Amino acid sequence: MTAHIRAKKDQIAETVLMPGDPLRAKWAAETFLEDPKLVNDVRGMLGFTGTWRGNRVTIHGSGMGMPSLSIYAHELITQFGAKTLIRIGSTGAMQAHVKMRDVILAQTASSISTPSAGIFREVNFAPCADFGLLRTAYDAAQSKGSDVHVGGIYSSDVFYDERPDLTEMMTRHGILAVEMEAAELYNLAARHGCRALAVLTVSDHLVTGEQLPSADRQSSFGDMVEIALEAAFA
């Protein structure tokens, strides 16, 4: 047990899917896992462990933003032995050719700052996905017929951004979408020798102004969860 995860060590699988929303973790576990068991509810951050096609999987919320994710990912890796961590979440598209409900596989994750900045200091470390996971996730998405994009994303420190110049610069440099967690997940995975990937579904569009209604978000995320699971156990 840790300060934030009440589970016993053997209750956490080596493969962990990490949505930001704890209720989405509950929905994903109940929808895709066999015999899911609640293993954590400290501070309302829900975690469940079950099986998928005979493979043990934990689905655990990360909270919003890199500082929150860094706590849970660090504890899952260092205290519970997690080896493969896949973020599953929503993202805001930053390119016109990316459409609502499309799936984005984050090859790299740019940022202004992450919780790891104090460790890297003067180094501009380049956080990136595990290539094996990225490749198998892409193959899984293609086989499902999902509209999938692979490339760089931007992990932001803020949700209500007041920097239109920053959005323009990211868009001009081909960044596909913005979210708030992946860069630090990739940092932690690199530091501890783990595999990591962010599989994201477009729920908002910074170019067109479109937004998925709350009720549609959950129903649109099923492909993303299946892609993540297939990538982990390919």
181 is in an annotated binding site: yes
Q: Which residues pair with 108 in a beta bridge?
A: 128, 152
Distance CA 157, CA 170 (A): 14
Give the torsion through C-alpha atoms of 29, 33, 34, 36, to 10 deg.
-30
Residue with tokens 């992450």: 114
Instruction: Please tell me the pTM assigned to this model.
Output: 0.96
User: What's the confidence (pLDDT) of residue 219?
Assistant: 64
Domain boundaries, the chain: 9-232
Which of 158, 68, 69, 154 minimizes the C-alpha distance to 111?
Answer: 154
5 is in an annotated binding site: no
In total, the chain counts a number of residues equal to 234
Distance CA 82, CA 225 (A): 18
The C-alpha R_g of the chain, in whole angstroms, comes to 16
Question: Is residue 157 annotated as a catalytic residue, yes or no?
Answer: no
184 is in an annotated binding site: no
210 is in an annotated binding site: no
The DSSP element (H or E) to which 132 belongs, if any, is helix 131-144
User: What's the confidence (pLDDT) of residue 161?
Assistant: 85
Residues of the chain below pLDDT 50:
none
Q: Please give the class, per CATH, of domain 9-232.
A: alpha beta
- The catalytically annotated residue of 139, 147, 157, 204 is 204
Distance CA 137, CA 130 (A): 11
C-alpha torsion sign, points 149, 139, 180, 22: positive
Q: What percent of the chain has pLDDT over 90?
A: 92
Contact 227, 117 (CB under 8 A): no
Distance CA 67, CA 184 (A): 8
**234's tokens:** 């390919």
195 is in an annotated binding site: no
Q: Which residues pair with 37 in a beta bridge?
A: 49
6 is in an annotated binding site: no
